[in-house]
Amino acid sequence: MNKNQNTARALAALGHEARLDVYRLLVRAGEGGLIVGDIADHTKVPLSTLAHHLRTLVTADLVTQERRGREIVNRANYVTMNSVVSFLTDECCHGVELIREGAA
């Protein structure tokens, strides 16, 4: 996948209010991450629905998961997050050359 496709996939995953809430919570949690039960407690998203939202965030590479015994620790993938933000801001204020039909 190219950078446009990766960014579009990440933004699409964040385009749902519950997933955005989950992702922002994981960003706040930092490198320690959170287990699924703690995410559910904070967001009030039912576990069955939360599993679906986490799967979407993992597929978009925004969240990583690590099994620790019986628990799954979820962490924000800061590399992907920074890549998306960078993609959106890299060319900030560089100007845009206007292309007009019929201009020579």
Evaluate whether 75 touches 81 at the Cβ level (below 8 Å).
no
Q: Which two tokens stand for residue 13?
A: 């995953």
- Number of domains making up the chain: 1
CATH code for the domain of 40: 1.10.10.10
pLDDT for residue 104 is more than 70: no
Q: Assess if residue 11 is contained within a domain.
A: yes
Range of the domain at 35: 3-89
103 pLDDT band (50/70/90 cuts)? low
In a domain, 95, yes or no: no
Q: What are the helix (H) ranges across the chain?
A: 3-13, 17-29, 36-43, 47-59, 78-89
Q: What is the pTM of this model?
A: 0.87
Of 1, 24, 12, the C-alpha closest to 56 is 12
8-66 per-position pLDDT tens digit: 999 999 999 999 999 999 999 999 999 999 999 999 999 999 999 999 999 999 999 99
